[in-house]
Structure 1
């Protein structure tokens, strides 16, 4: 078998000494910026004739499951994986990722925003390159806010948001005051609810890793969320994640949406959004406790250690996350639509500032998130909308299912919190964090 492969390889060598084109298999998420990257990838293959691309595009929860299983079992299905700020430090410590040390002289790694770069590095080495970075903020309809007789402050409180959501709701005309994530998943509803809980003074664990869902701060968080969504949210909200809420907002059915800053270019793009000229932005809400409900995340491209095509994979990553790609998107789609949140130079670019009314708010939100001190009280973990331990993926999704069930009215808030406390305690005991 090995001899046959060698013979085939020899046959494939052309007169110039180049082997047959390598095919990179890229696992990615079905978000708008990644779909755009696939459409523009001809630019990369034209510049790198020896490399072909094969895309495997998945919904967020499915992607996470597939790439985690593949890398943990050394499956070798993918040459490039789209992963986030949660996975990178954990997987890098397991030697599951290749450090990105050959991105090219013009890549300018020092231009990456410090908050974003820090989350993707171990001991100063970059293990994934950010395709886009984000925090979260309030996106709202200025016309509906004015109609309700209100003015959105730059830094709103949760009480203001709740009051405005109820006043903006017009269920007869299918306009809902607020759209928030309800779909179960550690990176779906729990990303939103964990960030929200930080601003309510809640935390996942105390300093001794004891779960905290039996504490009043979590009851305040989940109770506030469920009540608000029942009164002012869309029907079927327990099935809505990022993409579903984006579609609702773009079609004019949401008064406010608190979610990823990366959505700003999609809600203000007149080709995609019916309300493009009516959108305003504000910081994620707070509860007067010194923390806002905003998160910190980067969807990033990384090379699994099992890939046999690491050199070609690094070339693609340098293309997709380099400055030249931002220029390419700007030339095709306009500056407002370039992937945000990764480079200092982008936020210093006058053309971007002029085209993107959300630029300053995005940068402010990213810089305000502190993964080392996410909540009001001290915690033993790092992470704003997640807990950077390997067990969190399973625990976070299981808790997310409980909270989604509470939103759907299948269990009470109290029961969902009791279940969350029980299952988290069991898994943390099993993991050796608590005795």
Structure 2
């Protein structure tokens, strides 16, 4: 199924499949197995490593993981959930999908499970994250594995050597100037890494926050498309020029994973991206820059803050026949106990943070996250999904528009902008083409 077809399926309200009971692990106590689909981020690699000797050992429930890169994951999970195929018992999804799919009746509510677990403590979940996963009925339709905003990461040692100073709250103009001065600080080192890989959740995660703070928006409150507006254009011109002049080589193939590798291996001096990346940068097992990274608020231009709000969450399709077993895994994976397991076995810097207030009170975690923990929490708390820019929006959402069609629209426009990095097109041509697609979407909303 193509992304366009998937988006089309999402628009149509489907009948919910049968959920709960009936499977070989239906009661969550008698062993059996569940099928889990998840994104290939470092935190997911950790849980895959830990599950057999902890969760499966304690419950007898075998977990069959399917792990995919972000863009592939989005296509796969959309196919399965929207078509009611029922191949997976749990999947990692964002707040974007959670809001749309719970309204269609495609997801199992999970509040009944959290309420029944005396140790879970759902009230400990950070309010902005929990609210983004709740339906109008107040129930949770996904449980957060980790939450994130976005911030700027930079090499403190390189800045000191070059006599550069990073402001606590930098502007994008200041970042561009610093990137130019840090470019070439070491052989082969570039000034900054910014995602150029096409995808609404890849390139446009950071780029839409740039659009917001430059005064742009995808749509006005009354659904007027703004993709080739002066503000949107200025933001994209700035972003693509910065990458072409001082960014990573092969930008059109660089997403979250590639930029993480670039900074952790000493190939770039700065990176603007997810706060959740900090744990990997401070992990001696995979990073060459442990202790050398500084952290600053997401860069701004016309707004006070510009960080995004996102979480990767465990959602249960109603089609599962192993609801109790799947819920048992989701509860464990998002629990205080799991955070302790990660800290003790893998290191406290690798704890999947950004979802629980109590995480930031753990002494070992506070020490391990000294340079980024509190800034992560403050960035999440200052993220404003209702008013992320300089004008009112038609939906709630910072780095996305909460309508089914946005996944396809954002991906199409990002594919056009990717051509700017390779010289195949100009920003004006890419955004004029994107404007036409956005106007078609706007007409449907009106």
Q: TM-score, normalised by structure 1?
A: 0.93
Partner of 1:334: 347
1:402 shift after superposition: 1.2
1:370 and 1:33 map into 2 onto residues whose CA distance is 25
1:314 shift after superposition: 0.5
Paired residue for 2:403, among 380, 389, 414? Answer: 389
Paired residue for 1:403, among 403, 411, 417? Answer: 417
Partner of 2:432: 418
Partner of 1:5: none
1:19 shift after superposition: 9.3
Q: Does 1:433 align with 2:437?
A: no
Paired residue for 1:232, among 221, 233, 246? Answer: 246
1:292 shift after superposition: 2.9
1:433 and 1:117 map into 2 onto residues whose CA distance is 27
1:245 and 1:263 map into 2 onto residues whose CA distance is 10
Structure 2 CA distance for partners of 1:177 and 1:19, relative to 1, 3 Å: closer
1:269 shift after superposition: 1.5
Q: Does 1:256 align with 2:270?
A: yes
Structure 2 CA distance for partners of 1:106 and 1:418, relative to 1, 3 Å: same
Partner of 2:365: 352
Alignment of 1:25-424 (within 5 A): 25-42=35-52, 43-49=54-60, 51-100=61-110, 101-103=112-114, 104-122=117-135, 123-170=137-184, 173-287=187-301, 289-357=302-370, 358-424=372-438
Considering only CA atoms, is the larger Rg found in Structure 1 or Structure 2?
1
SS, match of residue 123 in structure 2? helix
1:111 shift after superposition: 0.2
4+ runs deviating over 4 angstroms: 17-20
CA displacement, residues 36-81 of structure 1 (integer Å, 9 cap, x when unaligned): 10111020011112x2111110010001101111111110010001
Contact 2:175 2:299 in 1 (8 A): yes
2:229 and 2:274 map into 1 onto residues whose CA distance is 28
1:340 shift after superposition: 0.8
Structure 2 CA distance for partners of 1:284 and 1:18, relative to 1, 3 Å: closer
SS, match of residue 252 in structure 1? coil
SS, match of residue 445 in structure 2? coil
Structure 2 CA distance for partners of 1:98 and 1:156, relative to 1, 3 Å: same
1:18 shift after superposition: 11
1:148 and 1:412 map into 2 onto residues whose CA distance is 34
SS, match of residue 176 in structure 1? coil
1:172 shift after superposition: 7.9
Partner of 2:3: none
Contact 1:197 1:293 in 2 (8 A): no
1:347 shift after superposition: 1.2
Q: TM-score, normalised by structure 2?
A: 0.91
Structure 2 CA distance for partners of 1:19 and 1:41, relative to 1, 3 Å: closer
Contact 1:138 1:258 in 2 (8 A): yes
Q: Specify every segment of 5 or more residues in structure 1 that has no aligned partner in the other structure, as ranges.
A: 1-8
Structure 2 CA distance for partners of 1:19 and 1:214, relative to 1, 3 Å: closer
Partner of 1:6: none
Q: Specify every segment of 5 or more residues in structure 2 that has no aligned partner in the other structure, as ranges.
A: 1-21
CA displacement, residues 14-46 of structure 1 (integer Å, 9 cap, x when unaligned): xxx999742100000111100110111020011
SS, match of residue 291 in structure 2? helix
- Matched residue pairs, number? 417
Structure 2 CA distance for partners of 1:97 and 1:325, relative to 1, 3 Å: same
How large is the RMSD of aligned CA atoms in angstroms? 1.8
1:34 and 1:184 map into 2 onto residues whose CA distance is 22
Contact 1:177 1:232 in 2 (8 A): yes
SS, match of residue 126 in structure 1? coil
Contact 1:140 1:279 in 2 (8 A): yes
2:193 and 2:157 map into 1 onto residues whose CA distance is 17
CA displacement, residues 375-425 of structure 1 (integer Å, 9 cap, x when unaligned): 111111110001111111111111111111122221101111101101111
